[in-house]
């Protein structure tokens, strides 16, 4: 009897943050405010995205990025957080579309395509993600 691993049998399926499988695009969520992070995660899931996170900071995202293949990333930036600027550079090098939100100077001078200024509504983040190019989406 042959046992097939469902993940190997269907390579377009990847594990999400809590081990769930799905076929929709995977979004990596980085948000320092836990309440905002949970609100964003719910809104993004409601839009049909699989959400990995929320991670608490950009440094966590930098550590995780080599081990996951997100289709999109949402980053909550903190002013003066050098890891946030480094994460933006890493995402650009990997051609991963992303939406950042924070203050206008939170990027550390690194250019971004989409920067939403605080305060931001979850629906605005969702609309911005859905407007991103497909990038690595399956």
In angstroms, the Cα distances linking 81 to 39, 85, 127 are 23, 7, 26
Domain boundaries, the chain: 23-118
**pLDDT at 138 (0 to 100):** 41
In angstroms, the Cα distances linking 113 to 17, 50, 53, 99 are 26, 22, 22, 8
Return the H-helix or E-strand segment holding 26: strand 26-30
Contacts of 128 (CB under 8 A, 6+ apart): 99, 114, 116
pLDDT tens digits, one per residue of 87-113: 999 999 999 999 999 988 888 888 888
Confidence of residue 122 (pLDDT cuts 50, 70, 90): very high
Confidence of residue 136 (pLDDT cuts 50, 70, 90): low
Confidence of residue 135 (pLDDT cuts 50, 70, 90): low
**pLDDT at 113 (0 to 100):** 84
Does the domain at residues 23-118 carry the CATH identifier 3.30.365.10? no
**pLDDT at 125 (0 to 100):** 97
Let me know how long the chain is: 138
**pLDDT at 110 (0 to 100):** 86
Q: Max CA-CA distance within the chain?
A: 60
């Amino acid at each position: 009897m042959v046992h097939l691993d469902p993940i190997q049998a269907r390579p377009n399926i990847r594990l999400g943050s809590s081990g769930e499988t799905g076929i929709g695009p995977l979004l990596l969520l980085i948000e320092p405010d836990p309440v905002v992070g949970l609100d964003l995660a719910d809104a993004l899931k409601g839009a049909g995205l699989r959400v990995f996170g929320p991670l608490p900071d950009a440094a966590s995202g930098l550590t995780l990025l080599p081990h996951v293949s997100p289709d999109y990333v949402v980053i909550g930036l903190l002013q003066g957080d050098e890891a946030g600027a480094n994460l933006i550079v890493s995402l650009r090098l990997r051609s991963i579309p992303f939406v950042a939100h924070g203050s206008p100077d939170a990027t550390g001078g690194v250019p971004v395509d989409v920067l939403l200024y605080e305060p931001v509504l979850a629906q605005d983040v969702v609309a911005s993600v859905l407007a991103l190019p497909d990038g690595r989406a399956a």
